């Protein structure tokens, strides 16, 4: 049997938000590797082996997936959202670069998924209609000072900012510090959205302003979207507002 490795994006949660290519890779795999809650999102086929892992051991998980593929297994390594956005694909290529030369002959494909910021943006309207960027607030893999520097530079340059990993039990105050830094740069009325568990049964979205935004509202299932001074809110009666950023901008 010829082995392969597919690095599969599962999308934000709902099966309907998963691509047919991702579905095909999951069905064709002999082995599924990933963080346990991601593996729980779909039912295994008979005979498939599940390798549930800890979320922190990214490189070890990547090497394990490469080893399975190199040994003739059809390995699907799964990530939530898109595997290339703050997720496993980079870890695989890092492991590949420093691993045995034989791994480079392996059939490796990245299968994209809908990343959280796109799912959240679609739910809200069109907040990413003009220039935007994505920043992870996790300081597991980079210094916190760099996160703040990038956030303030992006806000100062007029980007809408999609904030991943906004808050966790290990880092309860990061989002508060981020809002404090941003309030020095952006107007108080700048729209801010908290989009939690998008496409999942516990989905919850609120739209507020930078002035009123309460960091306690975010957790690890939340994508925080910070508007630019161009971002607009369309209020509606008995329905949540729409958020959009116009395509055109003043000089």
- We find the least distance from the C-beta atom of residue 1 to ligand SAH, in angstroms, to be 29
C-beta of residue 109 within 8 angstroms of C-beta of residue 6: yes
Closest-CB residue for ligand SAH?
81
C-beta of residue 242 within 8 angstroms of C-beta of residue 236: yes
- We find the least distance from the C-beta atom of residue 51 to ligand SAH, in angstroms, to be 19
C-beta of residue 86 within 8 angstroms of C-beta of residue 136: yes
- We find the least distance from the C-beta atom of residue 106 to ligand SAH, in angstroms, to be 22
Q: Please, which residues have CB within 8 angstroms of residue 185's CB and are 6 or more apart in sequence?
A: 152, 155, 156
C-beta of residue 79 within 8 angstroms of C-beta of residue 51: no
Which residue, 30 or 217, has its beta carbon nearer to ligand SAH? 217
Integer CA distances (angstroms), 6 to 27, 44, 115, in order:
11, 16, 17
Chain residues that interact with ligand SAH, rule: CB under 6 A: 12-13, 79-82, 85-87, 115-116, 120, 164-166, 195-200, 220-223
- We find the least distance from the C-beta atom of residue 176 to ligand SAH, in angstroms, to be 16
Which residue, 7 or 68, has its beta carbon nearer to ligand SAH? 7
Which residue, 216 or 249, has its beta carbon nearer to ligand SAH? 216
- CA gap 13, 3 in Å, rounded: 28
Which residue, 61 or 73, has its beta carbon nearer to ligand SAH? 61
């Amino acid at each position: 049997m010829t082995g392969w490795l597919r690095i599969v994006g599962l999308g934000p949660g709902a099966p309907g938000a998963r691509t047919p290519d991702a579905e095909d890779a999951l069905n064709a795999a002999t082995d599924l590797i990933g963080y346990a809650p991601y593996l729980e999102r779909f039912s295994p086929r008979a005979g498939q082996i599940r390798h549930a892992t800890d979320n922190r051991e990214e490189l070890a998980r990547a090497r394990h997936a490469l080893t399975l593929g190199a040994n003739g297994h059809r390995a699907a390594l799964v990530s939530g959202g898109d595997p290339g956005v703050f997720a496993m694909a980079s870890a695989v290529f890092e492991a590949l670069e420093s691993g045995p030369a034989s791994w480079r002959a392996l059939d490796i494909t990245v299968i994209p998924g809908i990343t959280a910021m796109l799912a959240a943006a679609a739910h809200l309207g069109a907040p990413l209609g003009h220039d935007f960027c994505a920043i992870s607030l996790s300081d597991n893999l980079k210094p916190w000072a760099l996160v703040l520097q990038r956030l303030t530079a992006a806000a100062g340059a007029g980007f809408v900012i999609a904030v991943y990993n906004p808050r966790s039990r290990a880092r309860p105050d990061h989002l508060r510090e981020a809002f404090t830094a941003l309030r020095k740069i952006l107007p108080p009325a700048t729209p801010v959205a908290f989009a939690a568990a998008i496409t999942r049964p516990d989905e919850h979205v609120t739209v507020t302003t930078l002035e009123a935004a309460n960091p306690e509202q975010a957790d690890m299932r939340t994508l925080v979207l910070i508007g630019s001074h161009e971002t607009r809110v369309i209020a509606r009666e008995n329905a949540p507002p729409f958020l959009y950023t116009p395509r055109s901008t003043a000089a």
